[in-house]
Structure 1
């Protein structure tokens, strides 16, 4: 791909699609925060027990498993609303449900109608996750790969502004309407959530106004092949499989096999007396049925996009998945302990909030914007590499801060650099993920790849507290910086593989590979 001029790079931010993604990002950022951190404050102020608030956080599973129902958005057109087009119809449905859900939450006082409040929050979370799927798919289909970072930067700007408004802004509204920790008033929170239900209107108008991207012929054929009933069956089979496999392993773990080995019990005894063993057998049967020929046929709408990815990249798919799974590991694992570290260093909550909200937000948006500009100018992989280096290297600033105590100026430098590198890396990574997807399965493949991106860092991040306890903060930050090295090696390997393509030749593996993208008008 020939290198573009700076004027052409800046032009990536002047298209109407940039404004569309800004407004859609705003619509995506509002509900996410309103069913998490802001809802937790509301529940606690209303006197709900901490244990209940903790269980309520499981609402977030809707975002972690959104790839389960993403094939529906790729291959099924909604009745009536389907006249708006495949992407816009799902966006309108999701945004209407979010607004209705937020308005319904406003009418439920957690002191008397907690169950209804949580149920409506679940509705908002599922509708919000569906909106995210549709927005990602829309973004992939309206522009070529090099413009994806610019669109992602615009989306991130809208998202961060909405997130700030739905957290600090929502607390300000609730306080202004008369609800405090000492004197809880449901009417104040009701007014706050009604305001945010109305703030979904710009996103809804944007979905009605924007242009629907063209539907690739392959997608039309796939939609004709898998009817609605088949797709619903696929989602149900996948849910059963996701539940039965971990449950089966858990029940086998609790089965008293030791007594069987010692000869104290027979297999018949286990069948008759050990409930864990009986449940394990039941889940084994369910798993077997899901993986049988009939079950695999039912899973075809989900397995087809996965198979497409593997067929297109062959053995290289493992390299790509390794890169995706590890790219955000360095800053994600470190980020789990960041706020704890600030407190342990002696910074006040006001200092942390002020620096992170002011400098953190500005530098994140600046990093994302510059990342989008550089990717149009120089290509994706060079900026992906720079983002990986910056994300890992800025962890060393935290290491320097360890010995400096509560140095506010160093905190500003550290948070600014960390958020700038995170914005740059995110823009590059979104563009790279977008380049890997096939437009025939844009919603499903992007949802899957973005889920893989978070899985390993979140699992390792769960042990970050243990690492700090055993090693101390200084060694912890060094280790998190080193976690970025394998990713850089994988990027270099991938860069070497793709270099022949930029020189005008096609690698033999790609000779029979279908194109990843079809350029669409924005």
Structure 2
């Protein structure tokens, strides 16, 4: 029997009858227990990221620890940037003793409990130069556990989505939980620490993650070994040796090439980790330099070249070349292991490239451009606010952290609602338009903000901000007004983007495919910061915002093209086929 046709997270509308869109769909999804667990998992995903990549440095600064002594801290951002390198483990490896938790929960729950223990251990440690080795090692392990749970949580969201708890709503709820955690672990964490101390703050945060990990035991999930798409794992492996499939020799060559490229990439990251752990502070490599220098080559080695190999394999099968003419006998143990590796490393790309064809060029272009402005701009936001516009730390914290995070959550809610009313692709395109236009608001701020001030005054927004933040200057309302509109746009665009990205991956390979695509979004922002920084130096912020508006315009065009592609291929804008195999874990 040939391998089953791949089931993606988004299916055709004809397969599932549409229910009336709007608030009814939204409330029906939010009442589903899966949405509650999704909010918890989103919070658990965002909290460690905020604590390890932001708040922890504030603690170390107060402890007067020199940055060059923080060996493993250079690895923290690296764990998130290159998490796709171990994503095949999440799809294919069963953890002994935890498999009864479920296909994804066997990774999620232990990671959350481990993170809780690590945060509590950090609270019991003293971050001094003499103790920094142990302290930074804990943080490094925590970052790896955090990145791992992110992979598993994204795959869980795709696996459990159904017609009630839709993929679109689960994606929106996930981001709401994530953004709320960023506020709790970031700005609120600083406020709490100022009152009860850093150790007690991290103790509280660790306890929260432990509670979420325990609550996750009751979350629904597919059992390990249950077929996601109609066939058991052994049956899928056997299907590789049946008539009409690629010859083992061809698959072995592809596996050897892809495996070598992945091994070299992982080896490069491990070498960097070893150097960061063992070298003297003045000799340790810089993580940003490593990402900029080696990041593109790692992407080429693990995504670009394997995608070309996958495309060649798909074309061979489509043309009927190098195929088995008869079933092969049962395989030996060595070929069994090779088939497992082939399904873990090669098949995710073969499936994706074979399903998308030349549309893959459009999809990758959209992935690389849709969030690039946000990814790049984040690095320069504070220099712009504090240096160029001369706002105070308190004013920036109020506008970007408190009011800004609230605006993002509101934008996510609006985005989730719009998806249920006008569809996923319409919301994705609208989000791209709004995100591009908000760059023009910042262009006005770079010229003095006269238009933003006038608009804020006209609708009474300035009076509201002056009442809420009496410590601020007369210029605070226009900054808050600008940040509000930008973050509303980010929320709407983010809700649609994560839902769209989740919808185009196969449930069978959701961990690998989603991790690869999302990592492209993260890395392209890192790689573009140097060029944008030079442009700011040469041309100033105003022209940079005009340029980023143009990039946003490209993303709008690509959204429209992808919308047309999905329409022509018959895919629904926001309907997900229920998966009867997803059941509550026993």
The interval holding the TM-score normalised by the smaller chain is: 0.7 to 0.9
Distance between the aligned counterparts of 1:155 and 1:244, measured in 2?
33
Answer yes or no: is the 8 Å Cα contact 1:40–1:53 preserved in 2. Answer: no
Structure-1 residue corresponding to 2:3: none
TM-score, structure 1 length as denominator? Answer: 0.80
CA distance change for structure 1 residues 14 and 51 in 2, over 3 Å: closer, same or farther?
same
Change (3 A) 1:196 1:108: same
In 2, distance between residues paired with 1:108 and 1:173?
18
Secondary structure in 2 aligned to 1:424?
Answer: helix
Residue 311 of structure 1 deviates from its aligned partner by 0.7
Choose between structure 1 and 2 for higher RCO, CA contacts under 8 A separated by at least 6 residues.
2
What is residue 8 of structure 1 aligned with on the other side? 24
Instruction: Verify: 1:51 aligned to 2:60, yes or no.
Output: no
Q: Deviations over 1:340-378 (max 9, x none)?
A: 111121211111101112321111011111111111222
Q: Which runs of 4+ in 1 moved over 3 A?
A: 1-4, 52-55, 217-220, 222-226, 233-240, 243-248, 294-300, 500-504, 515-522
Answer with 388-397 or 456-465: which moved more.
Answer: 456-465
The answer to whether the aligner puts 1:143 opposite 2:152 as a matched pair is no
Structure 1 gap ranges (5+): 178-187, 227-232, 249-286, 505-514
What RMSD, in angstroms, separates the aligned Cα atoms of the two structures? Answer: 3.3
**Residue in 1 aligned with 2:284?**
none
Whole-angstrom CA distance in 2 between matches of 1:423 and 1:345:
25
Q: Among residues 116, 126, 142, which one is paired with 1:99 in the alignment?
A: 116
Corresponding residue number in structure 2 for 1:64: 81
The Cα of 1:199 is off from its aligned counterpart by: 0.9
Map of 2:145 onto structure 1: 127
Give the corresponding residue for 1:510. none
SS at match of 2:166: helix
Partner of 1:159 in structure 2?
A: 178
CA distance in 1, matches of 2:35, 2:360: 31
Aligned to 1:171: 190
Q: Is the 8 A contact 1:153 1:372 kept in 2?
A: yes
1:241 aligned residue: 264
2:393 corresponds to: 349
Conserved in 2, the CA contact under 8 Å of 1:368 and 1:423? yes
Would the alpha carbon gap of residues 445 and 518 (structure 1) be closer, same or farther in structure 2, given more than 3 Å must change?
farther
Question: 2:73 touches 2:140 (CA, 8 Å); kept in 1?
Answer: no
1:468 to 528, 536, 546: 536
Q: Which residue number corresponds to residue 113 of structure 1?
A: 131
Shift of 1:168: 2.5
Q: Which residue of 1 aligns with 2:205?
A: 196
Residues 1:358 and 2:367 are matched in the alignment: no
* C-alpha distance 503-235 of structure 1, shift in aligned 2 (>3 A): closer
Aligned length, in residue pairs: 457
Q: Distance in 1 between matches of 2:481 and 2:231?
A: 48
With over 3 angstroms needed to count, the CA separation of the structure-2 counterparts of 1:371 and 1:474, relative to structure 1, is: same
Cα shift at 1:457: 2.6
Mean alpha-carbon deviation: is it higher for 38-47 or for 402-411? 402-411
Q: CA deviation at 1:119?
A: 0.7
CA contact (8 A) 2:425 2:559 kept: yes
1:82 to 81, 90, 99: 99
Query: Structure 2: where are the runs of 5+ without partners?
Result: 1-12, 239-255, 272-300, 310-334, 450-473
1:438–1:445 contact (8 Å) kept in structure 2 = yes
Tell me, in whole angstroms, the C-alpha distance in 2 between the residues paired with 1:96 and 1:439: 26
Partner of 2:324: none
Question: SS state of the match for residue 221, structure 2?
Answer: coil
1:326-475 to 2 correspondence within 5 Å?
326-343=369-386, 344-404=388-448, 407-475=475-543
1:508-519 paired onto structure 2 within 5 Å: 519=579
| Offset, 1:60 | 1.4
Question: What residue number does 2:351 align with?
Answer: 308
